[in-house]
Structure 1
Amino acid sequence: MEKVMMKLDGLTCPSCLTKIQKSVASAAGTNNIKVLFNAGKVKFDLDPTQSTTDEIQSGIEKMGYEVQQIKTKEL
């Protein structure tokens, strides 16, 4: 498992939070998802054998948000 943090740009309202949370949750192997609206970040745990950060980033970007930075840490 990895702990992932993505810095986002384009969050303009609380409904953005819900959209991003649903997008990340739809990827296999994700859990403990937290979207921090004021900080412009999403944090989650990821099983890299089921999904990749690139796949999750692509899903977020398809909704019109920009992923500025990705940090991962092995659990």
Structure 2
Amino acid sequence: MRIDLKTETFTCPSCIKKIEGNLNRAEGVDAVKVLFNSSKVKVEHDENRIDPEEIKDIIEKLGYEVHSVKSS
């Protein structure tokens, strides 16, 4: 399953590495792509091991506000 999360505007490239690194370590996350210019995070995940709310929580615990979550 893939979800797209719209976040607050990223201010630096290190934001990308921070989010990607933390999500890639989460059990059930298969792939992460952070789009700096559009402030989106695309996550491929196994919905039986991690749900979208848990992914959102990981991003928010890093200090980034998530505005919306869409399944695709």
Q: Normalised by the size of structure 1, how large is the TM-score?
A: 0.88
Q: How many correspondences in the alignment?
A: 72
The answer to whether the aligner puts 1:25 opposite 2:24 as a matched pair is: yes
Task: Give the equivalent residue in structure 2 for 1:40.
Answer: 39
Amino acid at match of 1:63: L
Q: What is the Cα-based RMSD across aligned positions, in Å?
A: 1.1
Runs ≥4 residues deviating over 3 A: none
What is the identity percentage for the equivalent residue pairs of Structure 1 and Structure 2?
40
In structure 2, stretches of 5+ residues that fail to align are none
In structure 1, stretches of 5+ residues that fail to align are none
Q: Normalised by the size of structure 2, how large is the TM-score?
A: 0.91
Relative distance call for 1:65 and 1:10 in structure 2 (3 A) is farther
Deviation at 1:8, TM superposition (A): 0.8
